[in-house]
Amino acid sequence: MTLQTQKPLAAIYVRVSTEEQVRQGVSLAAQEEALQNYAKALGYDLFRIYKDEGRSAKDIKGRPEMVQLLKDAEVRKFQAIFIYKLDRFSRSLIDLIETIEKLKQWGIDFVSLQDKIETTSASGKLMFHVISAFAEFERNVTSERTKFSMDKQARDGKVVSRAPFGYKLENKKMIQAENFFQVQELFQEFLNNEISLTKLAKKYGFSVNGVKKVLTNQTYLGKIKFDGQTHQGNHQPLISSTLFNHVQNKLEKRGIKK
């Protein structure tokens, strides 16, 4: 009597929007047939076909079958995912790489028919690493551009993040908010009284760390700080440098780190 070895299971994911189907003529049925044949040729039995018809590739959360596919992958209901083409899975290279990295952690192989990419072989893994390198490069370039842009804003005296307590943003400019006087009160109260940060936090509706951030924030001096550098801002100061320095000295005497 011959024992039959159970074949590994494959999940097939297909997606096409109505617009793409009209333009490219690649129907779900055509994708399904090609992927089933390919999975069978590689020695897999079919677990299930996941279909997102008429769905955009922009957001995974907007594709219920994709969401279910990843949930099933995490609990290892199958051993491999087969797709027709990479852009069926995601239009974002970074999102694609991050998703495939998760699949690797879960022990799920990934196969893209048209792109000749599969993590089941040495050559497929090499191609995936090449794509990963490009994705990492894209992340670094985006990060550098963002940092350069924010640094330019700071050097120009513009706010590079949210407006702190006491200010608000209006037409991309930081101006005094209605509660600006509370910043002045908080500084004065800490300086002129032996009050703890805990009591100050409770009074003004902050956390203790939030109060400390207010008391050490150079934005209230009319300055902008970014990436370790301080620049003169375009906004109006809320407190004087004398008051600010006295508060810093008192914080230091209390052993409160900035």
136-161 mean pLDDT: 71
Has residue 125 got a pLDDT over 60?
yes
| Residues labelled as active-site residues | 17
pLDDT of residue 134: 64
Q: Both 127 and 180 in a single domain?
A: no
Cα–Cα distance, 125 to 111 (Å, whole number)? 10
Classify residue 72: in a domain, yes or no.
Answer: yes
Cα–Cα distance, 122 to 173 (Å, whole number)? 54
Q: Both 16 and 128 in a single domain?
A: yes
Classify residue 2: in a domain, yes or no.
Answer: no
Q: Both 106 and 181 in a single domain?
A: no
User: Hey, is 192 helix, strand or coil?
Assistant: helix
pLDDT of residue 230: 83
On average, the pLDDT of the chain sits at 81
Residue 233 or residue 126, greater confidence: 233
* pLDDT grade for 23, boundaries at 50, 70 and 90: very low
User: Hey, is 113 helix, strand or coil?
Assistant: coil
List pLDDT tens digits, range 166-206. Answer: 999 888 888 899 999 999 999 999 999 988 899 999 988 88
- Domain closes at, from 67, 102, 137: 137
Q: Both 16 and 50 in a single domain?
A: yes
Q: Both 21 and 119 in a single domain?
A: yes
CATH of the domain at 181: 3.90.1750.20
pLDDT of residue 1: 44
Residue 222's domain spans which residues? 156-253
pLDDT of residue 114: 81
Strand 173-176 relative to strand 167-170: parallel, antiparallel, unpaired?
antiparallel
Q: Both 72 and 162 in a single domain?
A: no
Strand stretches in the chain, DSSP E: 9-16, 45-53, 80-83, 109-112, 117-118, 167-170, 173-176, 223-226, 229-232
Q: Both 88 and 196 in a single domain?
A: no
Nearest to 85 by CA among 113, 60, 57, 66: 113
Q: Both 170 and 247 in a single domain?
A: yes
Strand stretches in 94-145, DSSP E: 109-112, 117-118
List pLDDT tens digits, range 78-110. Answer: 999 999 887 777 766 677 777 888 888 898 988
- Domain closes at, from 137, 166, 187: 137
Most confident of 46-50, 89-93, 100-104, 152-156: 46-50
User: Hey, is 220 helix, strand or coil?
Assistant: helix
Q: Both 30 and 118 in a single domain?
A: yes
Whole-model pTM: value is 0.49
Classify residue 92: in a domain, yes or no.
Answer: yes
- Domain closes at, from 84, 104, 137: 137
Classify residue 30: in a domain, yes or no.
Answer: yes
pLDDT of residue 117: 74
Tally of domains within the chain: 2
Q: Both 131 and 163 in a single domain?
A: no
